[in-house]
A and B are shown apart, each in its own frame.
Chain A
Amino acid sequence: MHADTMDLALATPASGHTTSIGRKRWRAFARNKLAVLSLGFLVLVHVSAVLAPAIAPYRPDKTAPTAALRLPSGQHLLGTDEVGRDVLSRLLYGARISLVVGLAAVVISVVIGTLVGALSGFFSRWTDSVLMRFTDAMMAIPTFFLLLLILTMFGGSVGTIIVVIGVTSWMSIARLVRGEILRFSGMDFVTAARAIGATKWRILAAHVLPHAVSTIIVAASLGVANAILTESALSYLGLGVQPPTASWGNMLQNAQQYMFNAPLLSVYPGMLILLTVLGYNFLGDGLRDALDPHLLG
């Protein structure tokens, strides 16, 4: 308990007792205009992805060969693709796939990465050694090569792609968390907590791990972005989410063939990937500012 109050006292300078931590964090976050803008954009993208069946003007796989490669018009707000499918509808449905791939893969990688990193940095040298060798082994296979192997061998459904991206992208989080844990577990407040008899698990969960949270969150926001990019890269090699199911990645890949006569087709999914990935990066920056006690005024 004592150590807890000490941590709090450190995080809140004496003059700031009147404002809550939450409000300070929001203020720190809001200072970063790009982060706020990104948050807004991401909320918009996620909400419209969820509402896709309700707001999409057409079914995403409804073809109309007579209305192929149309420019944007009142009927098709963003035009149609090579088989006359409505681009806006496909983007909305594609968002569901791309975002789910990004978010679900990151949940998997954050859970594995935090667990491995925390256990490895905090417990015995033996545990550390085994876990870090395992992490090294995972990192020694370039993940993209591993993805390539698994997906060519087993073929990719959305579920497979999520799991495969998740289990091949936790290593950097594990290393970062381990680094943070190593950095903090040698500090005086940990010695203090140990001195008053806190158990190892309690010290890890209540005193050390919270210091790694901002690192984890920044890494996670980066992770969502990377997973979306990975899916699009896999699509380029024909190993991503398989058509006719739309994902931003396979829409972009598909649009390559029409780059000269219908350049807009590759602009939309490209821009959406770019902006969403940027959004998650800026969000991560903003969260970092908001969560770092050093920066809270």
Chain B
Amino acid sequence: MIVYLRRRLWHAAIVFALVNTLTFALVRLAPGLPQIMTGDTLTNADRMQFRHNLGLDKPILEQYFLWWSHVLRGDLGTSWTEHTPVLHVLLTRLPNTLILAACAMLISSIIGITAGVLSAVYLYSPLDYAVTSVGLFGLAVPSFWLGLMLILLFSVHWQLLPSAGMYTLGGSAAITDRLTHLILPTLVLAAGTLAQIIRFTRSSLVDILGEDYIRTARAKGLPERIVLLRHGLRNALIPVITVLGLQLPRFIGGSIIVESIFAWPGVGRLAYSAALTRDYPMIMGVTILISVVVLGANLVTDIAYTVVDPRIRFE
């Protein structure tokens, strides 16, 4: 297990380097200029000065190694648009996105697995169709459309829930206030994942329930509940774990949209604005942050995988 962990950590480091190198290349080699260099009032001399000050006139390889040497010393640079250290901005924004992602993950896995099991047990019953349909609606609805519709209904029409931000500005920012601000963004972020978890739980459990050992378990007179939970669900959850592990990158992608709709000050909106303004240090900072979080989650998924399914080989 230790050997396995060490190997995986080593792999994660390689992947981390690869991801950041690719992003670095993508960003630096793209045509066009960063926004701070495109102002109408800037002369060509100003632009050259900018290029020099930002170190963009150095050979690309030199820039690349310089960047790594800074990163490895914990220096992510200063944002070109916000003029604050990138690390500081990231660390203020990250908790906001994490709380959103955590709530979405919690809601979608609890509801998703329960609904998926019900659906598989009562296969082709009206309940199955209802669950599948509701789940598929979550998968099929464009998320920004769902977000806007929810705002129209709950914020504009019924005036039940706030439509933007993390808490009421100028208010007490009490826990209930924060919770009501969480509801709509969480729903929108969770919708797609919930549907996917329902789908995978259902199809995986349907497969498992057709296996011989389930028939054996039933034949030897075990109560249906034990057959389902201990023999069926335990095995059926293996692919679901993979799906859950895959949701984190999805949540980060989804947070770009959700945070834009609900004016949520998280990493998603930061990523979007950094890409639009070509704030190179910020783009790289976001990439580093995202890849660390996702690689960590992948590692945990893989370990969970080997724990729940001893048949999977220990690489």
Contacts and interface: CB of A to CB of B under 8 A. Distances in A.
Tell me if chain B binds chain A.
Answer: yes
A231 to B, nearest CB: 9
B252 A142 contact: yes
A142 B246 contact: no
A23 interface: no
B141 A139 contact: no
Interface in B106-145: 124, 129, 132-133, 136-137, 139-145
B253 A144 contact: yes
Give chain B's interface secondary structure class.
helix
Interface string A98-115: 000000000000000000
A143 B31 CA distance: 21
A258 to B, nearest CB: 12
Contacts of A294: 207, 210
Given A149-B27, A154-B30, A237-B272, A182 B14 contact: no
Contact of B256 (A144, A150, A154, A285): A144
A139 B272 CA distance: 19
A273 B250 contact: no
Given A136-B295, A259-B152, A237 B260 contact: yes
Nearest to B261: A236
Interface in B251-284: 252-254, 256-257, 260, 271-272, 275-276, 278, 283
Contact of A140 (B142, B295, B312): B295
A252 B142 contact: yes
A218 interface: yes
Contact of B249 (A143, A222, A277, A285): A143
Contacts of B84: none
A153 B32 contact: yes
Contacts of B295: 136, 140
Contacts of A137: 15, 18-19, 22
B150 interface: no
B122 to A, nearest CB: 15
Given A256-B148, A288-B203, A148 B275 contact: yes
Contacts of B287: 141, 145
Indicate the size class of the contact surface on chain A. Answer: 35 or more
B31 A237 contact: no
Interface residues of B, number: 60
Interface in A221-259: 222, 225, 229, 232-233, 236-237, 249, 252, 256, 259
Contacts of B14: 133
Interface in A133-176: 133-134, 136-137, 139-145, 148-150, 152-154, 172, 175
B11 interface: yes
B281 to A, nearest CB: 14
13 contacts: A133-B18, A140-B19, A140-B249, A141-B19, A142-B250, A145-B253, A233-B143, A233-B257, A270-B145, A281-B136, A285-B132, A294-B210, A295-B210
Interface of B: 11-12, 14-16, 18-19, 22-23, 26-27, 30-32, 124, 129, 132-133, 136-137, 139-145, 148, 152, 203, 207, 210, 239, 242, 246, 249-250, 252-254, 256-257, 260, 271-272, 275-276, 278, 283, 286-287, 290-291, 294-295, 298, 311-313, 315
